[in-house]
Structure 1
Amino acid sequence: MFELTVSAIASVSLLTLSLYLFLKRKTAADVALSAVIFLFALIEIADQLSLNLQNNPLFFKRLALFLESMLPAFLMLFTLSHSRWRSVKSISFSWWALTAAALFFPVSALVFPANDFFYSPDLQTEKLLFLGTVGYWFYMGVMIYCVIALIHLEAAFSVTSTSDRWRIKLEVIGVGSILAVMIFYFSQGLLYRSINMNLIPVRSGAFIVAAILVGYSRIFRGNGVRITVSRYVLYRSLSLILVGLYLLFLGLIGEGMRYLGASFSRDIAIFIAFTAGIVMLIILFSERLRRRAKVLINKHFYANKYDYRTEWLNFTTRLTSCRNIADVRDVILSTFRETFGLNGASLYILDDNKKRYAQVANQSMHGEMMDLNASEALISYFRDRDRVFNPFDGEYMPDADEALFIERTGARLLVPLMNNGRIEGIVVFGEQLAEENFIYEDFDLMKTIARHATLALLNFRLSEELAETREVAAVAKISSFVIHDLKNHTTTLSLLLDNARDYLDDPEFQEDMIKSIRNTLTKMKDLIQRLKTVPEKQELNPVHTDINFLAEKTVCEVMKIKPDIKIEYDGTSAVSVVDAVEIRKVILNILLNAVEAVGEDGVISVETGSNGDMTYVRVEDNGCGMTDDFINNHLFKPFRTTKEKGLGIGLYQCRQIVDAHDGRIEVNSAAGKGSVFTVHLPMIKEAEFATG
């Protein structure tokens, strides 16, 4: 009853976890993990049915066998979903071969009879499966795929950044526990050519623990991080070496059974084997032991301690994924920690206001947080000798402030971030995971990474300063537009004032003057209201507008305030979808420019119409004109003008407005011969206008 209860809890736990992962899926890796856990739950259920149902138990064991045959394919799916390959074409031949071989397991489970796999005189009593030749190699193959998945899991965890490992550590241990207990369960075939189903409660208990670990990790630590597998085959083979030693150890135990007695040895073997599995997992996830293994491998198997090309590519690749300067700081510290086996590190950046180095990022440094007041002697040591400062080698004696900083922060090394002789920042090393003496190769790589890190920090700092400059420029741009609009309004009032001296007694002029002042006042109030809610981008309110009507109305306004100017008008109806207020600004600005250009004796002609799929407004004057150099290099650019009191904003604003309407402005002019400005805007057909 106890065994059945434990198995039921394990099955429900795995099914619940699988459903949760599937519903909360973010990536293909989540779906693959959900499928693998679901398959383990089905295997657990099928095995319990074969042991507890009196009616045809071998049928359910054969069902469990088929489910077990699906494990290699599902584990390969799980492995490939975490792989470094970005497309199907980039998958190596060896992985394709392993994936193809995984498909033979379900085929063999369907083709070969059950007796070729196993036989059991009394399954529900003895709970033993004696393996045939096919069954022996079948379970060895399934175990190998579990080992491959475990190797991949260990490799994936090893390349995860130190700062992210806490998020996935429990999940990796949970999945690793499932794989480890399955390796232990199937490894009986190597010892006894049999599968002892009495160990299913042990397997069920491991499933429960694993489900709790993975579930806790996903619920309370988030959805994990994106993992891609590195190319360090030798480091990745550490799992394979440990599993190989584990299986060799089991073989030695099996051989020793001949001399110690089967019953005693079997119990001892099970206990030692499971203990060895736990020790193996502890070793796999010990950062300190992993660092020592890496140092040992580099020392005895390679001419150089580092693969500099790989280290450089890894650092630059991680920098390219940074979105802001905070990400850059984290990547810099993570790279130093992982490359040199540090338990903690912190980053200090020069504060020009305080003339000292302030901490801006910290990863697992447990010392006191304080600023570094670096003396000129220390700065000169960094700059002149281009050295990493080791407080314990006696080469440089720190002053009182520096010694206090080293003591309270627990600094072991100080790596300068230098650019053109200026120390921009300092990376402070904390304790090492495994004590090792740094050599010239370490210091050279530290300085190389530091130089690249300095450039990355400066580039992001300049980018942020550029963004701030653009924001200021945007405010200045809006201000210039506002000033120009106010200038147009004051020009209107100025023209009214000039004409009032000659026509003030004319009742018709008085009426027009009051109307013009009222319109100008309304527009100025509207401008003030718009300034209160300035949007980040100019917002248009497009409506169906007859460009001819808009131009004619604007011309009439100008003629009322400047009646002595001769304006010839020739208009044809042409409809466009535009913001009438903004387009009126364009026409008014061009007209006022023409009025100023022609003087009192000039002539201005205005024409509207359509040409193909565009409407146009053409303003021509016989004024002073413009040179080709001014048109090509200065026209439509802000703060460029030929007027003595002009701002150089009007035509720039006009072009911005017309561009926002998907239109264009054409200019033809020559010095002393006048100018022609033509505004083109997209036209809509009359039928569309009527329908609208």
Structure 2
Amino acid sequence: MADIFHITVLVLLTVYPAYRLFRNRSVSSAAMLVAFWCSALVLGLDGQAVRSPEAFLLWKGAGLYAEALLCPVWIAFSLCYARRFSLREISITQRAAFVLSFIPAAIVAVYPVRAFLFAPDFAYEKVLFLEPLAFFFYLQIMLFLAIALFNLEATIANASHGVRWKVKFAVVGAGAMAMSFILYFSQSLLFRSLDMGFMTVRLGALAFGALLVAYSEVERGAEERIVISRSLTYRSFVLLLAALFLVGVGIMGEGMKLFGKSFNQYMLTGMGFAACVALVLLVLSEGLRRKLRVLVQRNFYGEKYDYRVEWDAFTERISSARSRDELFKNILIAFCETFGVVGGAVFMRGRHSRNFLPVCFHEMDSAETLFCSDGKLAVRMAQERAVLDLRREGTDFDAGEARFLKDVEARFIIPACAGDQMLALIVLGRPINMAEQYDEEDMALMGALSRQVAVVFKNLRLGDELAEARDMEAFGKVAAFLLHDLKNQVYPLGLLTENAREYINEPEFQKDMLDSLEGVVARMKALIRQLTHIPANPALDMRPVDLMELARDTAESMPENTVRFFGEPVIVQADAEEMRKVLLNLYLNAFEAGTGAPFDVHVGCETQPYVKVVDYGRGIDESVLRDGLFVPFRTTKEKGLGIGLYQSKQIVEAHGGTLNVTNVAGKGATFWVNLPR
């Protein structure tokens, strides 16, 4: 029977990690495979030593290597199991511990097996007597396995509320397996010997731990990736347990001296192991921790909550969110951990709908449901603006609302109100400790936290509205630029229409009119192409352009005898169509400023190529120059858009040039376009 049990445990330790690695090829799965197989190897070699007493030194010699390798493989397993593994995130201390964990293997490689142990009557009494070297050998193994336990505790301590319950049994099971070896090797401290009869207890402990791991991963998933914070400091339960264990070992040693064989070694060791595992499970129990927390707060501090601590923790959770989804999740986790409930959901009022729509579920079955603004629940919460305890006040709501609240085992509904608006409803599920009593202190803290949540949600809504306003503003700017270009294109068409009444029958006018219309059509098509595909930074079509020729061509859109040209041809690299927009805008401004009087255009090259447009109107008001002549949407014209000069300046600067103005009040203004050579 014992052999069957032995083989069953070996199969479990061998097959399950291989199956897990096959299903999930990850560093964590590979580390589990090595740790479990090394543990199985220790069991197998010890079993062979017991079954073949005549060759026990051979089997035990190989077993010493396997026992020594338990240290690095279990430390490696504890550093990556259920964690987001990265070599860079492993501290220097942990790396040093991993390297030092190979010392027991080095000791085995240097010394022969007889330097560790001897067994004069092993065929009759399965006890290995240890040499002093073995005492220190097994002490090192226990210390390194304790480091693995410390790492496993760090994993569970860093797990969030929603993850801890998923990995709790798996981490406890892995810890139980490591603890079983510590208990087994602790005989070396007590008796300077190893009683192989304890193998059955160790087999049971390993089977129990492996089954816990398998159960947790099959039932609750094995894909968690807990992030370990280097800055996290906490009181280690493993260190306390290790201290208690060493004290217990000392007491047991004294008991053996006093009572001898009447002190039942096997029973006491088994009970001690079971008690340790039970204690770990109780400490990791959410319900027990909740009870202890409430008990300590109320009996030692007079209040259930330390409000400063709760507020700091809640604020820290909110401020650490890096996305909207993470913000919602952090809010629910904070409520669940603070008030000891299993899960929750957030229902937020839609921006374009008055109904409350689900935006986040945490440890609660998601549902395609909503709370109508005119439903009984929303109306009641809007009127009372207080936390609703469903156990005390019932669920007299609409049928769909009542069914949803029953399905998710809801206990509390908390309104998040800002001013006269109810922005969201927070639904909290059943308590972890079903016997916990909630009073006015709980309700007050829920209300305080919900008001903070309402402020956050209001800021989110204001941010959305601001983003929409900016989008509309951008659209308005595009529309304004479009209207300005259309206005400049319509102007020459108006001149053609007026002149056509007199000269339509003249062949020369007909030819000029067709040329002008073709030019307008070409520019309109180019404008349509730009609007069809607007790049983030439009590229200029830079080609050699004669500024004098471009200035004269642009003037053809103006009435006859309104433009006087001075200067000489100057060749520059420019986008002809874009510069045409600039010149046409300056021409129209000069023409309107002079109330139809002629204006001058100078083209030349001094330090830089330039085009100068001089009008002889009233000039520009000093207030306009002071406030900003090139600011968009600012105009002094009755029907102006305030776009032309701003757009012209942008085009000139895109060419690497400058657009400046000089002004003499009452005598006119001069605009300078300077371009690079």
- Bin the TM-score by the shorter chain: 0.7 to 0.9
Where does residue 566 of structure 2 map in the other structure? 568
Identity of aligned residues (%): 27
Query: Residues of 1 paired with 2:264 and 2:223: CA distance?
Result: 46
Paired residue type of 1:495:
L
CA contact (8 A) 2:492 2:558 kept: yes
Amino acid at match of 1:431: R
Q: Where does residue 52 of structure 2 map in the other structure?
A: none
Instruction: Give the 3-state SS of the residue equivalent to 1:183 in structure 2.
Output: helix
The one of 137, 140, 143 aligned to 1:138: 140
Specify the SS of the correspondent of 1:641: coil
Other-structure match for 1:373: 376
Residue 546 of structure 2 aligns to a residue whose secondary structure is: helix
Name 2:553's counterpart in structure 1.
556
CA distance in 2, matches of 1:57, 1:583: 93
Secondary structure at the counterpart of residue 233 of structure 1 = coil
Distance in 1 separating the partners of 2:58 and 2:655: 79
What CA distance in whole angstroms lies between the structure 1 residues aligned with 2:43 and 2:390?
64
Cα distance change of structure 1 residues 256 and 636 upon mapping to structure 2, 3 Å threshold: same
**Aligned residue in 2 for 1:320:** 319
Go from structure 1 to structure 2 and tell me whether the alpha carbon gap of 1:662 and 1:56 turns closer, same or farther (over 3 Å shift). farther
Q: TM-score, normalised by structure 2?
A: 0.76
Contact kept, 8 Å, 1:496 with 1:561, in 2: the verdict is no
Q: Residue 488 of structure 2 corresponds to which residue in structure 1? A: 488
Please tell me whether the aligned partners of residues 140 and 189 of structure 1 are also in contact (alpha carbons under 8 angstroms). yes
1:453-505 alpha-carbon deviations (Å, 9 max, x no partner): 11100000111111122222222222222222211110121233344456556
Tell me what 2:540 maps to: 542
Aligned residues of 1:161 and 1:334 also touching (Cα < 8 A): yes
Letter in 2 for 1:523: R
Task: Report what 1:27 is aligned to.
Answer: none
Contact in 1 for aligned 2:356/2:371 (Cα 8 Å):
no
Distance 1:663 1:310 in 2: 60
Distance 2:173 2:539 in 1: 63
Give the structure 2 partner of residue 593 of structure 1. 589
TM-superposition CA deviations, 1:285-324 (whole Å, max 9, x none): 5432332233234344556543434433332233234455
Q: Aligned partners of 2:645, 2:94: CA distance in 1, in Å?
A: 69
Tell which deviates more after alignment, 448-457 or 509-518: 509-518
1:639 aligns with 2:624: no
Compute the displacement of 1:49 (Å).
9.0
The separation in 2 between residues aligned to 1:123 and 1:487, in whole angstroms, is 112
Bigger mean CA offset, 206-215 vs 222-231:
206-215
Aligned: 1:466 with 2:463:
no
Farther off after superposition, 365-374 or 453-462: 365-374
- Kindly indicate whether residue 35 of structure 2 is the aligned counterpart of residue 40 of structure 1: yes
The answer as to whether partners of 1:298 and 1:304 remain within 8 angstroms in 2 is yes
Q: Shift of the alpha carbon at 1:378? A: 6.3
Q: Which residue, 644, 647, 655 being the options, matches 1:653? A: 647
1:524 to partner: Cα distance: 2.0
Change (3 A) 1:13 1:497: same
One-letter code of the match for 2:590? A
Corresponding residue SS for 1:541: coil
SS in 1 for 2:186: helix
CA distance 1:666–1:110, shift in 2 (3 Å): farther
1:627 to 621, 635, 647: 621
SS at match of 1:343: coil
Q: How does 1:100-139 map to 2 (within 5 A)?
A: 104-107=100-103, 110=106, 114=111, 118-119=116-117, 121=119, 130=130, 132-139=134-141
Number of paired residues? 643
- Going from structure 1 to structure 2, the CA distance change for 1:573 and 1:73 (only over 3 Å counts) comes to farther
Contact 1:250 1:273 in 2 (8 A): no
CA contact (8 A) 1:46 1:63 kept: no
Which residue pairs with 1:344 in the alignment? Answer: 343
Structure 1: distance between partners of 2:537 and 2:467: 22
Q: Residues of 2 paired with 1:186 and 1:475: CA distance?
A: 71
Cα shift at 1:98: 7.7
Is 1:185 paired with 2:201?
no
Alpha-carbon distance in 1 for matches of 2:224, 2:391: 43
**Deviation per residue, 1:565-619 (Å, 9 max, x gap):** 223354533336xx5544443343333333333344332324365858xx76554
- Distance of 1:496 and 1:123 partners within structure 2: 124
SS in 2 for 1:70: helix
The answer to whether the 8 A contact 1:117-1:136 is kept is no
- How far 1:7 sits from its partner (Å)? 5.2
Q: Aligned in 2, Cα 1:182/1:222: closer, same or farther, shift over 3 Å?
A: closer
Which residue of structure 1 lines up, in the alignment, with residue 288 of structure 2?
Answer: 289
Paired with 1:269 and 1:679, the residues of 2 have a C-alpha distance of: 98
1:479 is the counterpart of 2:514: no
Query: 1:230-283, CA deviations, whole angstroms, 9 ceiling, x for partnerless residues?
Result: 95735x63x6666777888888888888979699853x5675566556645643
Question: Residues 315, 374 of structure 1: CA spacing in aligned structure 2 closer, same or farther, 3 A cutoff?
Answer: same
Q: Which secondary structure does the structure 1 equivalent of 2:144 belong to?
A: helix
Q: How far off is 1:50 after superposition? A: 6.0
Amino acid at match of 1:669: N
* Code of the aligned partner of 1:482: L
| 1:413-432 equivalence runs, <5 A | 413-432=412-431
Contact 1:154–1:284 (8 Å) recurs in 2? no
Alignment TM-score, normalising by the size of structure 1:
0.74
Structure 2 residue runs without a partner (length 5+):
50-54
Q: Deviations over 1:517-565 (max 9, x none)?
A: 012112223433544x354x5452334423x436732541323543312
SS at the partner of 1:463? helix
With 135-144 and 172-181 compared, the bigger mean Cα shift is at 172-181
| Cα distance change of structure 1 residues 183 and 606 upon mapping to structure 2, 3 Å threshold | farther
Which 10-residue stretch deviates more, 174-183 or 270-279?
A: 270-279
Find the aligned partners of 1:139 and 1:246 in 2 and give their Cα distance.
15
Residue 14 of structure 1 and its aligned partner are, at CA, apart by 5.1
Quick one: distance in 2 between partners of 1:346 and 1:99?
Answer: 41
Letter in 2 for 1:549: D
Closer, same or farther: CA 288–76 of 1 in aligned 2, 3 Å: closer
Letter in 2 for 1:552: E
Counterparts in 2 of 1:156 and 1:351: CA distance versus 1, 3 Å = closer
